[in-house]
Amino acid sequence: MTRRLDLFAPTGVPGLDEILAGGFLRGKTYLVAGEAGCGKTILSVQFLIHGALQGEPGLYIAIDEPTNQLLRGLRLFGWDLGDLISSRKLMFLDMRTHFSKIYMREERKHIEPRYIIEQILNAAKRINAKRLVIDPIAPLVYGGREEDVLYAREFLREMVFAIEKTGELTTVMTSEIPTGSSKLSRFGVEEFLASGIIVLGIEEIYGNVERIMYIRKARWAPVKPSKYVFDIVSGKGIVIREPLSEYLKRVTRARA
């Protein structure tokens, strides 16, 4: 059966689109999970840059890091996004500043999800965005109290359903995995809401420290769960090098 490539948003990650037989399903939500420093933000921005260069504007919702610091870091990495931002191909929105009145309130756990959802969708409309990144997802909806977990789960469901209902935005949300944890998300619902899950990690293999990408879930794609060795290259982003199975064979032969 021939895959209709117009139904997919290419990620811009060399090797990944071939693995996924086209990219991410347009209008759906994807979870990129991993420990700190594994490349979640790089992959997310790479996805937006590729879309912007292909005529698909993108919106980045920065949750933990001020956008000026993020953009400074991206310039050091080799991505100067000034032209794409000035031409409204990309928009970086600092959520803490944008919703300062909300985050200053003690009754934060009672915020209507509809309000934040509307603000995100309105920002997306301003640039006719086709791609959306929320990095990371948990602090957007979670006050840090245990009693907020149920609220956060319902918030996430409502937000994902509302965004996907527009049919316009292909969304990447990131989730930080605590070191040593087997969990993929803070609340345990993100992975069920997502059409695909990509887990980024670091593994030591025969004394070599390698970055590993685990394609854990890819709904409606002919992809079985699989792992790949990847590099982070300045000015390019994430580049998949080879399947982990091939890497292990090669290293084993070299050690024999």
**If you average pLDDT over residues 163-188, what whole number do you get?**
85
Confidence (pLDDT) at 87: 97
Non-local (6+) Cβ contacts of 211 within 8 A are 38, 39, 200, 201, 202, 229, 230, 231, 232
**If you average pLDDT over residues 157-169, what whole number do you get?**
94
**Structure-model confidence comparison of residues 199 and 104, the more confident one:** 199
Q: Is the pLDDT of residue 134 over 70?
A: yes
Confidence (pLDDT) at 149: 77
Q: Do 64 and 30 form a contact (C-beta atoms < 8 A)?
A: no
Mean residue pLDDT of the chain comes to 88
Confidence (pLDDT) at 225: 86
Confidence (pLDDT) at 6: 82
Confidence (pLDDT) at 100: 54
Q: What share of the chain is helix, strand, coil (3-state, %, to 5)?
A: 40, 25, 35
Closest CA to 155 of 112, 100, 104: 112
Q: Given its phi and psi angles, is residue 21 left (phi above 0), alpha (psi -120 to 50 degrees) or beta?
A: left
Pairing of strands 196-205, 208-218: antiparallel
**Structure-model confidence comparison of residues 148 and 121, the more confident one:** 121
**What b/e readout covers 208-217, taking b as 16+ CB neighbours within 10 angstroms?**
eebbbbbbbb
Confidence (pLDDT) at 1: 41
Matching residue, tokens 């935005």: 169
Matching residue, tokens 């001020």: 66
Q: Is the pLDDT of residue 247 over 80?
A: yes
The pLDDT tens digits of the residues spanning 98-125 come to 655 554 454 444 566 788 889 899 999 9
What's the start-to-end Cα distance of the chain, in Å? 42
pLDDT band at 4 (very low <50, low <70, confident <90, very high): low
pTM for the model stands at 0.91
**If you average pLDDT over residues 54-63, what whole number do you get?**
95
Confidence (pLDDT) at 104: 46
Tell me if residue 54 falls in helix, strand or coil. coil
Handedness of CA 142, 145, 147, 149 (dihedral sign): positive
**If you average pLDDT over residues 217-232, what whole number do you get?**
89
- Ordered structural domains, the chain, with CATH: 5-255 (3.40.50.300)
pLDDT band at 254 (very low <50, low <70, confident <90, very high): confident
Backbone phi and psi for residue 10, each to the nearest 5 degrees, phi listed first: -55, 140
